[in-house]
Amino acid sequence: MFKGIVLTLAIASVVLAETEQANLTVYTRTGNFVGGLNDTYPDVRHFKYIPYAKPPVGSRRWASPEPLDNSSEVIDSTVFGPACAQYVSAVPSVWAMNITGNLIVNYGESLLAGEFAQNSAEDCLTLAIWTPANATADSNLPVLHFFTGGGDVTGGINIPTQLPANWVHRSQGHIVVTTNYRVNIFSHPHARGLYNSTNFGMQDQRVAIEWVAENIAAFGGDPSRITIWGQSAGSGMVDTYLSTWYDDPIAAGAIMSSAFAIGYPAMSEDYDGLNFTFVAKSLGCDFSDPKVELECMRRIPAARMENFVGQYQDNSTLVNTTQSAITFTRQVDNKYVWANYTERHLEGKYAKIPTVFGTTAREFSALLPYAQDGPPEELITEDTLIFVCGAYNTTKLLDEADQSTYRYEWAGNFSNIAPVPWLGAYHYSDLYMFFGTYLIAPGEITDLEIQTAERMQDYLLDFITDPSSMASKGWPAYDVFATNGGNITQFGADGQAVQIVTGDSVEGACHIPNATYNTTP
């Protein structure tokens, strides 16, 4: 009898192991992906490397992304792929000097290297997926599809403070997807030979969303409950996306954190392709014919090109302040990036889905040129209003069109994620709370910080699960016609995890004469 029990237990163990292993292999149209379990949270399953488009290399450099063909290839998804080709600036910044963990992992490369990011490459159009470990094709979990920031020039999946394992561990009720997209000169070349075909990162975004909608059910996700979310440049992309694909957004909801199409500050106006031609000539592609110039540049190694652009930009800042700057960021083409978003709102050309718009109280404390004692307070206030008023102007238009919109302000100031006193609730710091990565930031973690992070996670989870339930969950919709402005949910201010405040108390400076803006509520 004892031998029979042992044999039964052994068989059960084998069956369990096979079941767990089977759950780590997911079959999709474009490949069979083998994932793993998170080291810290073994109840979380991850797939760190999933291609969603053909590699944008060779003749596909500076071309629209191409969907993948059918494939039954088995792909190891236990290790992150590279970020999209980018440069590690030598210019001191708060990200490199004070708050590490917010940049892509480059495995030992200095945060001020002044070199091509060694963990980046052109073959980069991949995404990563985190699910509860027990998720199956029948789970139908809501999906949060995240697009990272980086000012159109940096960013990617493998950023320690943007990894969502803690949040998925806590909820056991949702899936998070994070996506690489092309940046800098590989996304926004504005070359003469492309004839206004540009903004490739925006196009990557659409193909990634299409891939997720087609395949996420196999990972346990509900394709009818995909919420797209972006932060900073990624937020501006999401807002722009809702205007571009207004009649077919695929997504059921959208969250925009700290950058909006209205008032987006980092737009290129190089419509003659002068920056691209300057780089081309400097790299030996000195041709008057735009097509020949383009084809020559397609043969230049990515690292060489990024090093030239990045080191020239660094030199403009560090050494030669009179040197003409070159930039490669998004540009109006009236196809993926539009000249007048207010007009498009008034014409009804904006996706009719529930939205969340969020800002931080001191957006620009970390975005202004680095100074050890912090930038001037008046500049922090003035430039923070670019984002705050962008959120106000957009949500006002949506509210007037009777679209459900929710607002939040992150106003917490915790020393482990804001280690120098002048940072406060800086641009990006809300991501520590949503992703639960405040836990990896060095320093004291208070009970208030824990409570605030968990409330922030739960509020966003409620939204992606069922936006229509938000009022009953304590997050009232924004209402521009309400007394003292709409409702804004404020996190981390006044020693409270969450409270509802009036719109005028946060963004009155955007529309009330002589009103002031409070960067430290």
Average of pLDDT values for 67-82? 98
pLDDT of 7 > 50? The answer is: no
| pLDDT tens digits, one per residue of 462-478 | 999 999 889 889 999 99
The confidence score (pLDDT) of residue 324 equals 83
Handedness of CA 53, 55, 56, 60 (dihedral sign): negative
Mean pLDDT of the chain, nearest integer = 94
- On whether the CB atoms of residues 87 and 309 are closer than 8 A, the answer is yes
| Burial grade of 93 (CB within 10 A; 0-12, 13-18, 19 or more) | middle
| pLDDT tens digits, one per residue of 226-265 | 999 999 999 999 999 999 999 999 999 999 999 999 999 9
**Angle value at C-alpha 189, between 82 and 368, nearest 5 degrees:** 75
| pLDDT tens digits, one per residue of 201-220 | 999 999 999 999 999 999 99
pLDDT of 481 > 60? The answer is: yes
The confidence score (pLDDT) of residue 21 equals 58
H or E element, residue 255: strand 253-257
| pLDDT tens digits, one per residue of 97-110 | 999 799 999 999 99
| pLDDT tens digits, one per residue of 161-195 | 999 999 999 999 999 999 999 999 999 999 999 98
Report helix, strand and coil shares of the chain as percent, to nearest 5.
Answer: 35, 15, 45
- Measured CA to CA, the distance from residue 480 to residue 503 in angstroms comes to 8
127: which strand partners? 50, 179
What percentage of the chain reaches a pLDDT higher than 90? 89
- Per-residue b/e over 47-75, b at no fewer than 16 CB within 10 Å? bbbbbbbbbbeeebbbeebeebeeeeeeb
pTM: 0.95
| pLDDT tens digits, one per residue of 366-396 | 999 999 999 999 999 999 999 999 999 999 9
Q: How many CA atoms lie within 13 A of 187 on its CB side?
A: 32
The CA-based dihedral angle spanning residues 456, 459, 461, 463, taken in that order and rounded to the nearest 10 degrees: -140
Distance of CA 262 to the CA centre of its chain: 18
Distance of CA 466 to the CA centre of its chain: 22
List, in order, residues 6 or more apart from 447 with CB less than 8 Å away. Answer: none
**Tokens matching residue 17:** 């192991």
- On whether the CB atoms of residues 489 and 498 are closer than 8 A, the answer is yes
| pLDDT tens digits, one per residue of 259-310 | 999 999 989 999 999 999 999 999 999 999 999 999 999 999 999 999 999 9
pLDDT of 4 > 70? The answer is: no
- The β-bridge relationship of strands 74-76 and 31-34 is parallel
Three-state DSSP string of 197-244: CCCHHHHHHHHHHHHHHHHHHHHCEEEEEEEEEEECHHHHHHHHHHHH
Write out the catalytic residue numbers: 232, 363, 427
- Measured CA to CA, the distance from residue 276 to residue 110 in angstroms comes to 28
Domains in the chain, start-ordered, CATH in brackets? 1-347 (3.40.50.1820), 354-521 (no CATH)
